[in-house]
Chains A and B, each alone.
Chain A
C-alpha cells in the first residue's frame, strides 16, 4: 500500500499545482489535510524530484507576510504527464474495482 501511495503521490502534487502556482508551506498543508501525506516535510523530496524531471519549475514571489517565497508551478511537460497519468489511473482503478468489487 505504501508503494502504491508513493507512486501516485507525485501526480497528486502535480494535480495540486494544475490550477495555480503554490508555495511549499501551503502545498504541504493541503496534502497533509487530505491524509495522503503523513507529515509536511516529505513534500520537498517529491518537489525536488519533479523539478529535476522538468515537470515543475520554481519562481520567487513577494509575500505579504515576510520574505519572498519560492512558488512551484507546473510546466508543459508536467501537464502532459498529469494528463497521461489520469488516463492510466482511470483504466487501472476501473480494472481493480472490477476485480475486487464491493461486498454488501
Chain B
C-alpha cells in the first residue's frame, strides 16, 4: 500500500529537486545554502497551496518555474577559497588510496579489496552531499575495477577448487612399530 502524501515536500519529485539543489550548493557558503534551501521549500509550499493541487503535474510545473538547480546554485556565493582547497586536497588523498589499492591487488588482494571498498564508501558519502569532482570520479572507477578484479580472482580460486585426495595418491607409510 502506498503512503498518502499530505505535503508537497514529501513528493518524490520535490524531494529529488531539493536533494539535487543541496548537492549543488554543497561547495557554497553554508549559511547561504541553508537559507536558499529553506526559501525554496517555502516557495514550493506556497505555490502548491495557491494552486490547491499537489499532483505530480502541478509540482512539476512549480519546479519547472523555479528553474534548474545548477542555475540557482550559480547565483549563490561560492564558499571561501580555503574550503575549496580542503576539498581539492581530500580528492587527491582519495585518488592516492585508490592507486595503492590497485597496486596491492596482486601482492595483498584482501587489503586491496578493503581499501577499494573504503574508498567507494567515502565517494558515496561525498556524492550524497555534493557532486563528485573529476579526480574523485577517477578514484571511484579505480576502486570499482579493483573490487571487480578481486571478485574475479576469488571466483577463479573457488572454481578451480582444492585438489581432491585420490586413493592411489595416498602413500601408505608403514610404521616400524606396527605389529
CB–CB B67/A41 < 8 A: yes
Per the bound structure, the CA–CA distance linking A66 and B71 in Å amounts to 28
* Interface residues in chain A, defined as those with a beta carbon under 8 Å from any beta carbon in chain B: 6, 23-25, 28, 32, 38-42, 44-49, 51-52, 63, 65-67, 69-70
* Nearest Cβ on chain A to B37's Cβ, whole angstroms: 9
B residues in contact (CB < 8 Å) with A: 31-32, 35-36, 39-40, 42-43, 45-47, 49-50, 65-69, 71-73, 75-77
* Most chain B beta-carbon neighbours within 10 Å: one of A25, A46, A51: A25
A69 to B46, CA, bound (A): 8
Give Cα A25 to B43, complex, Å. 6
- The 3 tightest CB contacts between A and B, nearest first, are A39-B67, A66-B49, A41-B66
Contacting residue for A24 out of B46, B68, B73, B77, CB 8 A: B46
Given contacts A24-B39, A44-B40, contact A32 B65 (CB under 8 A): yes
Having A40-B65, A45-B72, one finds 15 other A-B pairs with CB under 8 Å, namely A39-B68, A42-B72, A44-B72, A45-B32, A46-B75, A48-B35, A48-B36, A49-B32, A49-B77, A52-B32, A63-B46, A63-B49, A65-B49, A66-B45, A66-B49
